[in-house]
Amino acid sequence: MSAARKVVIGLTGNIATGKSLVLGMLRDLGATTIDADELVHHLMRRGGPLYDPIVAEFGRGILDGNGEIDRRKLGEIVFADPQALARLERITHPGVIQETRRRVADAPAGVVVVEAVKLIESGMAADCDAVWVVTSREDVQLDRLVSQRHLSRSQAMLRIRAQPPQEDRVRRAQVAIDNSGDVLETRKSVERHFAAVRRSVAAGGD
């Protein structure tokens, strides 16, 4: 993905760790940001390139009253069955990667941040100059899913347990940001690491 004077950061982390929060901070600091989850939502809408393949794979029972894919219904299927999740990812990953690459290429020079929960597993990390991972304690993840996404505790745990251990992502990352506690501490960490990236860009990537 990289081009002259363009640094691409891959931002990842498990569910409800605070990736979107960190992405917003990086956007405020001047980075061009791309949310792969939003791309999936766009591509799987009726008429989008992922809609028909997903409906063909999982059936019309995943549709809502307007004929759109109901993400909660789809989630109940795939987060309870690793094989179903793998089938969904085989459908979605190629299209998301293609669209992400197009948007990175069109982004202004500087720093581009691509946020994707499956950044490493999908192979997208290979297109990035650095991988940042956001982590949180499991009890914090659980509380966020229940309070912010209105999932039951059992639904929340299904989603948490469907993902690999956070330590696996940390081992693949150049930067790890703990977002378990105070937001101001998270912001300080983001600002510190981003300042180092900006210095690299100013120096021509040396």
Residue 11 DSSP SS3 = strand
- Residue 31 has a pLDDT of 96
Buried (b) or exposed (e) across 58-94, using 16+ Cβ within 10 A? beeebbeeeeebeeeebbebbbeeeeebebbeebbbe
CATH code at position 78? 3.40.50.300
Any domain includes 1: no
Does the pTM exceed 0.85? yes
Any domain includes 68: yes
Any domain includes 170: yes
| Residues 6 or more apart in contact with residue 90 via CB below 8 angstroms | none
Element housing 32 (H / E): strand 32-35
Can you tell me the distance from the alpha carbon of 200 to that of 194, in angstroms, rounded to the nearest whole number? 10
The tens digit of pLDDT for each residue in 95-127 reads 999 999 999 999 986 899 999 999 999 999 999
Which of the 8 DSSP states describes residue 178?
Answer: E
Segment 120-138 mean pLDDT: 96
The answer to whether residue 150 scores a pLDDT higher than 70 is yes
Can you tell me the distance from the alpha carbon of 111 to that of 62, in angstroms, rounded to the nearest whole number? 38
Any domain includes 22: yes
How many structural domains compose the chain?
1
Any domain includes 126: yes
By residue range, what is the domain housing residue 63?
A: 6-202
Any domain includes 17: yes
Any domain includes 119: yes
The answer to whether residue 206 scores a pLDDT higher than 60 is no
The tens digit of pLDDT for each residue in 34-89 reads 999 999 999 999 999 999 999 999 999 999 999 999 999 999 999 999 999 999 99
